[in-house]
């Protein structure tokens, strides 16, 4: 499996990637998770990325392209699920070059479609495990014990960019800078649109059906 999970902030990319990884044994590559790890470790990349991420802006292309290439090179023969990358046409073109070098062309771009009102509801109620990165939601996907990850027992966090101002800006940035990437993949004939409303398992079944 060699796919991109595409969609606006809060569409469920991380949630579906976690399920797909279990079923298909592919590597989950999330540029958002990689950047948050760099911020937590106060690396040079992390220090540069933090101010962009807190405001909901995109981190500069050269930084995320380098991260994605590194991660792709490290998966070896395994398949991959890209989550949150690419987000600009420049990133999409750089990905094509990197995958051609690895002789691993993309098979599909799965676009999770959700309206803005539902995205705001999902992001405002999200809690995330900083350990294993599993996403939860206070209403639609609560943990068994309050505030603690079901998988690894780490205390959950509320992301800084899941505050109202940052959420609004992330949606604006998505519409202006990221949604044009859909046309790029549509013209290549590998774009698959999925109405990502309803239960998490129902959406997973739709994605699995499209992937065959």
Catalytic site positions: 13, 87, 126, 159, 170
108 binds ligand AP5 (CB under 6 A): no
What is the x/- site pattern for ligand AP5, positions 139-178, by CB under 6 A? Answer: -xx-------------------x--------x--------
Q: How far apart are CA 133 and CA 14, in angstroms?
A: 9
Stretch that binds ligand AP5, among 29-37, 70-78, 92-100, 144-152 (CB under 6 A): 29-37
Instruction: Report, in Å, the least distance between residue 168 CB and ligand AP5.
Output: 12
- Between 77 and 179, CB nearer to ligand AP5: 179
179 binds ligand AP5 (CB under 6 A): no
20 binds ligand AP5 (CB under 6 A): no
Beta bridge partners, 148, equal: 155
Q: How far apart are CA 203 and CA 141, in angstroms?
A: 14
Residue 10 near residue 114 (C-beta atoms within 8 A): yes
What is the x/- site pattern for ligand AP5, positions 34-53, by CB under 6 A? Answer: -x----------------xx
Q: Distance of CA 46 to CAs 68, 92, 134, Å?
A: 15, 22, 21
Residue 58 near residue 52 (C-beta atoms within 8 A): yes
Strand intervals (E) in the chain: 2-6, 27-30, 80-83, 108-113, 126-128, 135-137, 191-195
Q: How far apart are CA 118 and CA 84, in angstroms?
A: 19
How many C-alpha atoms does 202 have within 13 Å on its Cβ side? 6
32 binds ligand AP5 (CB under 6 A): yes
Instruction: Report, in Å, the least distance between residue 96 CB and ligand AP5.
Output: 15
Residues that bind ligand AP5 (CB under 6 A): 7, 9-15, 31-32, 35, 52-53, 56-59, 64, 84-85, 87, 91, 122, 126, 135-137, 140-141, 161, 170, 199-200, 203
């Amino acid at each position: 499996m060699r796919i991109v999970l595409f969609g606006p902030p809060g569409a469920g990319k991380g949630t579906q990637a976690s399920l797909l990884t279990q079923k298909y044994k592919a590597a989950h590559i999330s540029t958002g998770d990689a950047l948050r790890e760099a911020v937590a470790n106060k690396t040079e990349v992390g220090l540069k990325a933090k101010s962009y991420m807190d405001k909901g802006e995109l981190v500069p292309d050269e930084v995320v392209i380098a991260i994605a290439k590194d991660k792709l090179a490290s998966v070896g023969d395994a398949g991959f699920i890209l989550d949150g990358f690419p987000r600009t046409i420049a990133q999409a073109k750089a990905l094509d070059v990197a995958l051609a070098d690895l002789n691993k062309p993309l098979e599909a771009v799965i676009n999770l479609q959700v309206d803005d009102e539902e995205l705001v509801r999902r992001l405002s109620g999200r809690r995330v495990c900083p350990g294993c990165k599993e996403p939860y939601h206070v209403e639609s996907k609560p943990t068994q014990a309050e505030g603690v990850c079901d998988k690894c027992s780490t205390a959950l966090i509320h992301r800084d960019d899941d505050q109202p101002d940052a959420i609004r800006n992330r949606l604006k940035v998505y519409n202006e800078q990221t949604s044009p990437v859909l046309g790029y993949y549509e013209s290549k004939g590998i774009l698959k649109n999925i109405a990502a409303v309803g239960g998490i398992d129902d959406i997973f079944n739709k994605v699995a059906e499209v992937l065959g």
